[in-house]
Amino acid sequence: MNGTVLVNTDWVQGKINKNIYGQFAEHLGRCIYEGLWVGEDSAIPNNKGIRTDVVEALKKLSIPVLRWPGGCFADEYHWKDGIGPKEARKRMVNTHWGGVVENNHFGTHEFFELCEMLGAEPYICGNVGSGTVQEMSEWVEYMTFDGESPMAKWRQENGREKPWKLTYFGVGNENWGCGGNMRPEYYADLYRRYQTYARNYGDNKLYKIAGGPNVDDYRWTEVLMREAGHLLDGLSLHNYTIPGNWEKKQQALGFGEAQWFETMKKSLYMDELITRHSAIMDRYDPAKRVGLIVDEWGTWFLHEPGTNPGFLYQQNSLRDAFVAGLHLHIFHKHHERVQMTNIAQMVNVLQAMILTEGSKMVLTPTYHVFEMFKVHQDADVLAANVTSGTYEYEGEQIPQVSASVTRQQNGHIHMSLCNVHPGAEAVLKVELRGLEAPARVGGRVLTAGDMQAHNTFAQPEQIKPEEFTAYKQTSSGLELTLPPMSVVVLTLEP
C-alpha cells in the first residue's frame, strides 16, 4: 500500500459549477473554419453549415458553456461584419492568426446555432481594444433586446425574430497584451465605462467578466478589484502550461521523462496561481460574489511541423490527458471562487478535444478526460484527504496521486484519480466514511504503456478509456491499484 484516500461522504464542502467544464472556440487556424464550420455547400456532412461529426462527438461531453470569438481575435472583431447575407460579408485579414482571410461566414447567428446544437450556453467576448462603446452596446442590444429598437429590427431582418438568451459577456480579452497593451489602471476605467452600456434588457441579465491578469500579474488583480470590483461579476485569468518557456516552446511529441515531469509540475502551478489571486480577491470580496474565470488554460506546444505557425495546431498525447485531469482537480478544489473555466481550444488549436483533417476527425486523450470527468459537473464536492507517495525526478518531487471525489444528485459518488508516475503503480486504500458498502462499483481507466501515446487519423483509437477492474471492495471501502500513468474514474452506487 503506498497511499490512502480518506473520503467523508457525509461532509459536503460545496458544489462544482458545471461551467468549470467550459470550452473556447476562436477564429484561429482551423478551429472555426473546417473544425466546426464547413458551410452549407460542403461535401462534409453538416447541419446549417456546422459539421455533424464534430457536433455529435462534442455533445457527448455535455459542454456547459462556449467562449467565442476570441481570444486576441475578439479585440479586432467587428460583429457587424459577420451578419446578413454571407456573400456580402466583409472579408478581413486575421492579423493575429496567420494573416489569412476571414470571410466572416461564421458570425453571431451561426455561433448561437452552434451553441443550441451543443446544448451549451454562449459566452461572448466583446471588443474593447479596437472597438467602440457604441459597437459593444449595440451588439448586446442586437442579441438580447425584445421590442422595437434599431438593432432588434436588424436582427429580425436577418431572420431571428426573438432575442437569444445571453448571460456570459466578456468586456475585452488580455487587455494587458493583444487587447490593447493597457495598464490595469487604464483598463479598469475602460471596463467601468464599456460595461455601463452593456445593458440588461428585459429579463436577460448579463454576467460581466473583466479581462483579468496574465499568469502571476497580481498587481492587475489588485487594481481591477480595487477600482472596478463592485461592477464585475467575473474576473478572467489566463495561464498556459508551456514546457520549456514562451520563447522556446517544445513539440507536442518526441519528449522524454524530463519534459513529462516538467509538464506535471507546471500543471500543479495552477493551484498556487488561483490561491494567490483568490487571496487578493478575498480582501475586496470576502463573500466571493465575483467569480474567478479561468477562460484560457491548457498546453501550448510548438506547431506541428509543416503547419502554419499562426494556426497553433498541435498533437495531443497521454501527457495532455494529465494536464487536463490535474487542472480539473485543482478547479474542483477552488470551487468557491472558480466559477468557470474554458480550455483552449475546442477543435484543432492548442489542447484540443478534436482534431480534423478534411472530412476525417479524431478524438484526443484530452477529449476522453473531459468525457470521463463530466460526471463531476454540478456535483457536490466531498471532503477527501489523499496521502500518496511522491514522484521524484532529478531531485524534485510532486505528489504521485491527485484525486477528487464528488456526489451527484442521484447519490452516485465519483472518484477521479491521476497517477502521474510513469514507472510506478499506486496502490491505494480508500476509506469511505459514512457510507454503507456500495451496491455497485465500476470504473474506467485511460492509460498507455508509452507516455507519447496519441491518436492519429490512421490510428484513431490508439488511446481511449477501457474498463477499470483493478479494485476490490473491503470492509471499510476499496483497495485500488492504479497503473503507471493512468487516469481513472470510479463510480460508487449506494
Q: Give the residue numbers annotated as catalytic, written as ranges.
A: 174, 296
Shortest distance in whole angstroms from residue 298 CB to ligand AHR: 8
Q: Which amino acid is at 55?
A: V
DSSP for 310-356, written as a single string:
GG-----BHHHHHHHHHHHHHHHHTTTTEEEEEEE-SBSSSS-SEEE
Nearer to ligand AHR, 61 or 344 (CB): 344
Q: What are the grid coordinates assigned to 180, written together?
A: 490593447
Shortest distance in whole angstroms from residue 220 CB to ligand AHR: 14
Alpha carbons 386 and 7: distance in angstroms, whole number: 9
Task: Tell me phi and psi for residue 244, to 5 degrees.
Answer: 80, -130
Alpha carbons 82 and 105: distance in angstroms, whole number: 6
Nearer to ligand AHR, 300 or 391 (CB): 300
Shortest distance in whole angstroms from residue 16 CB to ligand AHR: 24
Nearer to ligand AHR, 214 or 473 (CB): 214
Nearer to ligand AHR, 83 or 178 (CB): 178
CA 32-346-74 angle, 5° bins: 55
Shortest distance in whole angstroms from residue 320 CB to ligand AHR: 15
- Strands 50-51 and 413-419: what pairing? unpaired
Shortest distance in whole angstroms from residue 75 CB to ligand AHR: 9
* 302-318 residues labelled b (16+ CB within 10 A) or e (exposed): ebbeebeebbbbbbbbb
Nearer to ligand AHR, 23 or 388 (CB): 23
Alpha carbons 372 and 446: distance in angstroms, whole number: 9
Shortest distance in whole angstroms from residue 314 CB to ligand AHR: 12
Peptide bond between residue 345 and the one before it cis (omega within 30 degrees of 0): yes
Nearer to ligand AHR, 211 or 438 (CB): 211
Which residue number has the CB closest to ligand AHR?
71
The residues of the shown chain that bind ligand AHR, judged by CB under 6 A, are 26, 70-72, 173-174, 296, 344-345, 350
**Nearest residue to 227 (alpha-carbon basis) of 257, 263, 189:** 189
CB 73 within 8 A of CB 96: yes
Residues 6 or more apart in contact with residue 4 via CB below 8 angstroms? 385, 386, 387, 428, 429, 430, 431
DSSP code, position 385: E
